Structure 1
Amino acid sequence: MNTKFFLIFVSLLAVSSWAAAQSSTVSDRTLLEYYQAQKYVEAATYLKSVYKEPVSDPNALRNLAYTTQMAGKLVEAEAYYQRLFQLDTTKLSVLNSIAGINLRRGNLQKAQTYYLRIISVDSTNFYVLKQLADISSRNNDTTGYVKYLSKANAVNGDDADVASDLSNWYVNVKKYALAKAVLNKAITADPENVVLLQSLLRLVHAQSNWAETVKVGMKLLQLGDGTYPTALKLGQAYYKLKNYMCCLETLAGMEDIQQTETSFYYMALSYKALKNYPKSIVYFERAITEGISPAIPTYYGEMAGSYQEHKRFKKAVYSYEKGLQFEERPLLLYSLATLYDSDLKDKAKAVRYYKRYLGTNPPAVQQVYVDYTRSRISALGSRL
């Protein structure tokens, strides 16, 4: 028998203690089979068939609450837990379950209310402090977030997640000494924790401590962390230390999908420092391309269309041309041609842009525009 399920079964059911209090008896074997197979919906249905309402026995209610919660029937589960709480308002575990259910349902305010009731009695409950910090974060309540994280960290300074989150916040507000103190304690307890080392890397990088950035970055790589933030910080540190080849090796080692404007920029800077100007230019160009949104031509085209509708034709021409500087899209050329043709009555420029439009080999879905363009070139050409 799976030990985990056996313990759950024994601790949650406590069959021997409540069977006599009920009019019917639950089959231990049947319920255990449901639990082991994680068939919680069936288990809940089975329990309801045995426990006849009104159910008042705490153990029966507890089992119904747990099973319906595991079955995803959160409204029913909360109702059972509420009935349990009415029987004994000192049960913090029941309040915790109700809060957790509301958190799962996205009812942050209700969850927070229940967690606060627990904290008012048990002010050092680490789990609840973490949950309150999470709720504060989701509510964009920075004051509450830092308050509860700090309290949780004071209760358990070894917890990696809390230490990481708290130190990251300290780094964001440039309170580096506090960030270091939080990380020192947690890392002492778990020196190879990747989450903590990532936060330490963030700290030393923010402090421009390049030698330490390399040291921590290399340790992370050895632990298997080749993520973009780690590789980029390590590459930047190598560049700042004038170790250009290591910078290039680190950044070039990232997968293509990870490369960004910043990684290309530092590779370009490194090639430039090594006087490899052709490659430097290539990577500066890649940085520029990566830094420009592919939607910019669309934005300029839409803006030009608005100017055109507003009869501000010079502004429209300028916007179309700006869009074309980023990418020579067929519809931008077509729109500019029709602007010169219909609104500005500049036949020569209209023909020029109509021809440029055709030169892009427009897709089949633009055949109507292609046909119109050819007819206009023919008509306008005879008048030039």
Structure 2
Amino acid sequence: MKNLYFILFFLSIGNFCSAQVSLDKEKLLDLYQTQRYAEAAIYLSSIYPPETTDIKALTQIAYCNMMSGNLVEAEKNYQKINMIQPQQIPVLFSLANINSRRGNKKHASDYLSQIIFVDSLNFNAYKRLADFTDSTALKMQYLQKANKLNATEADVAFDLSRIYRNSKDYQQAYDVLKIAITADTSNMILQQALLPIANQLKKYNEVIITGEKLLKSGADGNVVMDVGKAYFFLKNYKKALTLFQMLERMSMQNESVFYYMSLCCREMKNYEMAAKYAKLTIEESISPNITAYYNLLGGIYDEKQQLNLATNAYKKGLSYSPNKNSYYRLGLLYDLKLKQPKSARTYYNLFLKSKDLDKDDQPQVDYVRARIEEFAKAKR
């Protein structure tokens, strides 16, 4: 759209200049050709008074201001044009673009809606409207209309298929992408987007054929994963495992990768490796912050005097990983509230043995050591 405006802009220069004898045609052309749009805007504004209603002059000034980044003045000029000649689509697009660049999505959407009112078959307006809405339902509606007007446009097809995929409407997502891919068989982005959807539709051979071609252009992790899954579902466990191990070497392993690796090893009767990857699957599925979360929960129960629940929460956190704070809090709980010095001493000692103690923990260390000495004296 920007290029279209640019071409129309220069085509109009000849007529515009010849109609205005006071303009220095060569100077204006030089400013345009050297892209000195700010100077061109100033020059044109010096020729025409602020109250001018000359549409061609206002259009040139507005365009120069927009191209030079003076969006405030550009908007003023385009709004003036819009008042003189309302509902001109190029002007409305310019106003939408200016508001988009200034972060005002609502005003940009309003101008695009005006374009739809004037031209209900305007593909670009629907496409842009989809970008500006946060509503999934409205985004789908705009993209569906744009896709109906131009089913081969790649960006719209990609965005619409993603919405269909998220709503688990895999057949719709597949159909949208296939039409766009047929029109652009070299579009690797669309082909890659198709793979997980084709897997959901059990089109495993198609995934492998397309995916293997994509892999020749580079081992993209998502493609490797999708092709690996296709091989797995076709029970070619050896090939699938090779691909999943490629992800491991690329440091792109995650819970899902380890899960499929474990399943492959199990199907291949390699139970030792299957167990290894099953354990890694479990580790990947657990947040590294899980102990901290249980500490938070335990602290809440502690403050509410729900001591058994607090104890269980702290211990549950420790079942995932050792934690000095959990040990310290359990020691305090058993010591000061549950009055169980033996259990308190156990957790105090575990706290003192924690490998991650630092100088900030020194006050707690001093306190714990003092309490352990008091326990020893009480036993004498």
- Retained in 2: the 8 A contact 1:238–1:244? yes
- Retained in 2: the 8 A contact 1:153–1:159? yes
Q: Which residue of the partner structure matches residue 28 of structure 1?
A: 28
Whichever residue aligns with residue 275 of structure 2, its letter is: I
- Does structure 1 residue 248 correspond to structure 2 residue 241? yes
- Indicate the SS of the match to 2:378: coil
Q: Which residue of the partner structure matches residue 165 of structure 1?
A: 159
Whichever residue aligns with residue 248 of structure 1, its letter is: L
Of the three residues 358, 362, 369, the one matched with 1:367 is 362
- Retained in 2: the 8 A contact 1:200–1:216? no
- Retained in 1: the 8 A contact 2:87–2:118? no
Whichever residue aligns with residue 102 of structure 1, its letter is: N
Q: Which residue of the partner structure matches residue 226 of structure 2?
A: 233
User: Within 2, Cα distance between the matches of 1:381 and 1:49?
Assistant: 94
Deviation at 1:234, TM superposition (A): 1.5
* Count of aligned residue pairs for this structure pair: 372
User: Within 1, Cα distance between the matches of 2:378 and 2:190?
Assistant: 74
Deviation at 1:347, TM superposition (A): 1.0
Q: Out of 273-282 and 335-344, give the one that drifted further.
A: 273-282
- Indicate the SS of the match to 1:208: coil
Deviation at 1:51, TM superposition (A): 5.4
- Indicate the SS of the match to 1:348: helix
Cα deviations across residues 34-58 of structure 1 (Å, max 9, x unaligned)? 62xxx76666566656655334433
Closer, same or farther: CA 57–238 of 1 in aligned 2, 3 Å: same
- Does structure 1 residue 146 correspond to structure 2 residue 140? yes
User: Within 1, Cα distance between the matches of 2:287 and 2:259?
Assistant: 16
User: Within 1, Cα distance between the matches of 2:151 and 2:217?
Assistant: 23
- Does structure 1 residue 377 correspond to structure 2 residue 369? no
- Indicate the SS of the match to 1:258: coil
Whichever residue aligns with residue 194 of structure 1, its letter is: M
- Retained in 1: the 8 A contact 2:17–2:23? no
Q: Out of 78-87 and 109-118, give the one that drifted further.
A: 109-118
Whichever residue aligns with residue 262 of structure 1, its letter is: S
- Indicate the SS of the match to 1:383: helix
> Which consecutive unaligned segments of at least 5 residues does structure 2 have?
none
Cα deviations across residues 333-362 of structure 1 (Å, max 9, x unaligned)? 111111111111211111111111111131
- Retained in 2: the 8 A contact 1:34–1:43? no
User: Within 2, Cα distance between the matches of 1:340 and 1:34?
Assistant: 80
User: Within 2, Cα distance between the matches of 1:73 and 1:374?
Assistant: 69
Whichever residue aligns with residue 238 of structure 2, its letter is: M
Closer, same or farther: CA 258–75 of 1 in aligned 2, 3 Å: farther
Q: Which residue of the partner structure matches residue 60 of structure 1?
A: 57
Deviation at 1:111, TM superposition (A): 2.1
- Retained in 2: the 8 A contact 1:14–1:59? no
1:265-284 aligned within 5 A: 265-284=259-278
Closer, same or farther: CA 34–349 of 1 in aligned 2, 3 Å: farther
- Retained in 2: the 8 A contact 1:85–1:91? yes
1:177-196 aligned within 5 A: 177-196=171-190
User: Within 1, Cα distance between the matches of 2:91 and 2:257?
Assistant: 51
Of the three residues 188, 193, 197, the one matched with 2:191 is 197
In the superposition, the TM-score normalised over structure 1's length comes to: 0.86
Q: CA RMSD in A?
A: 2.8
User: Within 2, Cα distance between the matches of 1:43 and 1:365?
Assistant: 64
- Indicate the SS of the match to 1:14: helix
Whichever residue aligns with residue 235 of structure 2, its letter is: K
User: Within 1, Cα distance between the matches of 2:42 and 2:335?
Assistant: 74
- Indicate the SS of the match to 2:50: coil
Closer, same or farther: CA 379–150 of 1 in aligned 2, 3 Å: same
Closer, same or farther: CA 346–140 of 1 in aligned 2, 3 Å: same
- Indicate the SS of the match to 2:314: helix
1:24-103 aligned within 5 A: 25=24, 27-28=27-28, 31-32=31-32, 35=35, 52-103=49-100
Closer, same or farther: CA 335–210 of 1 in aligned 2, 3 Å: same
- Retained in 1: the 8 A contact 2:265–2:273? yes
Closer, same or farther: CA 175–321 of 1 in aligned 2, 3 Å: closer
Whichever residue aligns with residue 31 of structure 1, its letter is: L
Whichever residue aligns with residue 252 of structure 2, its letter is: Q
Q: Out of 320-329 and 200-209, give the one that drifted further.
A: 200-209
Q: Which residue of the partner structure matches residue 349 of structure 1?
A: 343
Deviation at 1:69, TM superposition (A): 2.6
Deviation at 1:125, TM superposition (A): 1.6
User: Within 2, Cα distance between the matches of 1:10 and 1:105?
Assistant: 23
Whichever residue aligns with residue 273 of structure 1, its letter is: E
Q: Which residue of the partner structure matches residue 10 of structure 2?
A: 11
